């Protein structure tokens, strides 16, 4: 009598010929370096919903900091590393929360019925810039606001029908860089004065989808992610604040023509960028945090 029946062997042959099934498909995204550069905060869907994790720069010692049944996303450290800012949907709408560095003592800073997203600290940690739909002219409209670190003193910075998200201050606090959607669908990177005036289009590429800007620590360069419709790819670039000196930083992995890189952020010394690399998948979104050295200016 054979060890295995023919029908069982036939079943194995069918399984071997079938497309492999992926057991994991998590997204790790929106990394932020700690002020000393030794660790990164990021959001991960490893547990199903998005939670906040901390990881050493070498990829070791992953630690869950903040979790809830709802999504907790886009975390950043305060400049002194004593606090964490993040966005949570635990109240049924997106609010900006603050927590201790260990994830405890959560405080809802915005507490507003509108969606509040993409917080960023001023260099001294005293102010927070963010985007909000509280004065929206349409459901997807966001303007830039700022507030004190305790959530008080909210002030509107930009107005109008353009969509402003992913905003942050220059290191000297004099300017703002933001992703701005103009003409309904054209996503560009803009630099503004701190009061929202004197807007300058940094990328000016109507066919591309540019966004996720970040200042270098010394203020000399801006990183952003962008890509056009020709090949569907998305790369990380660095550029001078006046729009000159554009350099492409990331490229498709070896042996692949696909590249979708977003959400760059500088290390404290300005030598490295952390970014999110989305992986191709037939059924699920999947992404990982990557590091790349910043090219020197020409």
Q: pLDDT tens digits, residue range 100-117?
A: 999 999 999 999 999 999
Backbone angles phi, psi at 15, to 5 degrees: -65, -40
Helix (H, G, I), strand (E, B) or coil at 165: strand
Given a contact cutoff of 8 angstroms between Cβ atoms, the answer to whether 106 and 90 are in contact is no
What pTM does this model have? 0.90
Q: Which of 290, 245, 233, 230 is nearest to 264 (CA)?
A: 290
What is the distance in angstroms between the CA of the first residue and the CA of the last residue of the chain?
Answer: 75
Q: Quick check: 267 and 258 in contact, CB under 8 A? A: no
> Taking residues 78-94, what's their average pLDDT?
96
pLDDT score recorded for residue 236:
97
pLDDT reported for residue 223: 98
Q: If you average pLDDT over every residue of the chain, what do you get?
A: 91
Q: Which residues of 128-153 are buried (b: 16+ CB within 10 A; e: fewer)?
A: bbbbbbbeeeeeebbbbbbbebebee
> Using one digit for the tens of pLDDT, what is the confidence trace for 157-182?
999 889 999 999 999 999 999 999 99
What is the pLDDT confidence band of residue 127, given thresholds at 50, 70 and 90?
very high
The mean per-residue pLDDT over the stretch 135-142 comes to: 86
Give the model's pLDDT for residue 114.
95
Structural domains in the chain plus CATH codes: 23-293 (2.120.10.30)
Q: Cβ of 198: how many Cβ atoms within 10 Å?
A: 10
Q: State the pLDDT at residue 243.
A: 93
d(CA 193, CA 182): 18
């Amino acid at each position: 009598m054979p060890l295995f029946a023919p029908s069982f062997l036939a079943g194995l042959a069918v399984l071997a010929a079938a497309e492999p099934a992926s057991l994991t498909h998590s997204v790790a995204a929106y990394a932020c370096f700690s002020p000393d550069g030794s660790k990164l905060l990021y959001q991960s869907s490893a547990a199903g919903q998005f939670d906040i994790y901390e990881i050493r720069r070498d990829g070791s010692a992953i630690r869950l900091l903040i979790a809830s049944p709802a999504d907790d996303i886009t975390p950043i450290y305060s400049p002194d590393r004593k606090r964490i800012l993040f966005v949570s949907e635990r109240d049924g709408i997106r609010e900006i929360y603050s927590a201790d560095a260990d994830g405890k003592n959560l405080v809802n800073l915005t507490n507003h019925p509108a969606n509040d997203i993409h917080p960023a600290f001023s260099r001294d940690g005293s102010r927070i810039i963010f985007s909000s739909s509280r004065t929206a002219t349409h459901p997807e409209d966001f303007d830039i606001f700022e507030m004190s670190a305790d959530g008080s003193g909210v002030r509107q910075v930009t107005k109008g029908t353009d969509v402003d998200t992913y905003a942050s201050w220059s290191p000297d606090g004099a300017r703002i860089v933001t992703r701005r959607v103009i003409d309904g669908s054209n996503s560009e990177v803009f630099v503004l004065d701190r009061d929202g005036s004197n807007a300058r289009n940094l990328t000016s590429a109507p066919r591309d989808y540019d966004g996720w800007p970040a200042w270098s620590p010394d203020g000399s360069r801006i990183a952003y992610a962008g890509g056009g419709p020709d090949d569907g790819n998305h790369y990380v670039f660095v550029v001078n604040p006046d729009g000159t000196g554009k350099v492409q930083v990331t490229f498709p992995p070896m042996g692949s023509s696909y590249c979708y890189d977003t959400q760059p952020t500088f290390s404290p010394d300005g030598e490295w960028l952390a970014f999110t690399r989305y992986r191709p998948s037939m059924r699920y979104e999947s992404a990982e945090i990557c590091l790349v050295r910043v090219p020197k200016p020409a």
